Amino acid sequence: MDQDRFYMQMALELAAKARGRTSPNPMVGAVLVKDGEVVGKGFHAKAGGAHAEVVALVDAGDRAKDATVYVTLEPCCHYGRTGPCTEALKKAGVKRVVAAMMDPNPLVAGQGLNILKDAGIEVKAGVLEKEARELNEVFIKYITTKKPFVVLKAATSLDGKIATANGESKWITSNEAREYGHRLRDQYDAILVGVNTVLTDNPSLTARLPEGRGKDPIRIIVDSMARTPTGSQVLTQDSAAHTIIATSERAPVERRASLMAAGAEVIVVPGEGPGVNLTKLMEILGEKQISSVLIEGGGKICGSAFAAGIVDKVAWFIAPKIIGGDLAPGPVRGEGIKNLKDATQIHDISIQQLGTDFCIMGYTSKGGDKISLPEL
């Protein structure tokens, strides 16, 4: 058992090398071991590329025969952009397959392991399953609901303010905390803000990392009346990622047309009320294969996100500063709750120090129903 955990941890570390690069696919790592020696390893680098098992088999060559395969997710058994990994493993003559977790994709969901078992290959599942599920929390949410995994990021002073009374907010948190925030941008498919953030700050919403390897997220502006200026940075900067303007049906047609002429993709989100229906917007983004969204908006958009129940995880940065003042804004606006029993409870909390600041991360639910492993 200790050996299985050791090599599975190695596979998980390989999988994590592609963090933020495989959407809408999962991150997967694979390690081939024979006679106590690692003979092959690999990971899934990007959607459409070779799967981890295939990369590891190529790395191992003839040494794959009678080897044990450690893979972080159940091998696929269907044809997509690539062929089924179950067939590649059978052809290579591996002796044993150890999977961290079952694939929640309905096209697999236990069938891959059962196919291998029927072929006479010894199979085992559930080794470091918790770690594997955390690694692929985005994929699990997306593949089972067809909606993106939503992370809400906020940065506040110790007394819960996001700016001073006159609106000054740069910078509440430290350089280290801000760098970590850019790493989050690099990790998720899209970043979402409200139009007021664009009007007030004119942000770029890009991933700026010290080593210059950041992947810009798709920029999503929630803008019910299409007020985003066509000269704003979200539309004019040089970036590989595009900008989506999510409007309501009330947005003037001429404003929508001018935004499209400026290069934006304009989405008209159906729904009653004056604002953009965030629940409907998440459904539309899921249809576009956007599997994860990082919300970095101000108090209004954060309040709307919690009210709509779309937030899966929070990343809350706290700086050891006191701002004070009745007019200094907080991070979550809107009507709020009337009774404490209705408060959003954060679970599975982790705390990390970043410079002088702290980042509290946690989930808005207890993880939901556990995906069952197949009967083996």
| 169-182 per-position pLDDT tens digit | 888 999 999 999 99
Residue 1 has pLDDT above 70, yes or no: no
CB atoms within 10 A of CB 272: 8
Higher pLDDT, 208 or 276: 276
User: How many helices (H) and strands (E) are present in the chain, helices listed first?
Assistant: 12, 14
Nearest one of 76, 36, 70 to 56, comparing CA atoms: 70
Q: What is the pTM of this model?
A: 0.91
d(CA 145, CA 114): 24
Residue 179 known to be catalytic? no
Choosing from 53, 74, 129, 296, the catalytic residue is 53
Q: Which of 253, 252, 257, 249 is nearest to 274 (CA)?
A: 249
Say which residue the tokens 């200026």 belong to: 229
Buried b (16+ CB within 10 A) or exposed e, 349-363: eeeeebeebbbebeb
User: In the β-sheet with 37-43, what is the strand arrangement from edge to edge?
Assistant: 37-43, 29-34, 68-71, 96-99, 122-125
C-alpha span between 356 and 217 (Å, rounded): 27
What pLDDT band is residue 81 in, cutting at 50, 70 and 90? Answer: low
- Taking only the tens place, the pLDDT of each residue in 294-338 is 999 888 999 999 999 999 999 999 999 999 999 999 999 988 889
- Whole-angstrom distance, CA of residue 44 vs CA of residue 174: 34
How many CB atoms neighbour CB 83 within 10 A?
14
Q: Check residue 80 and give its pLDDT.
A: 66
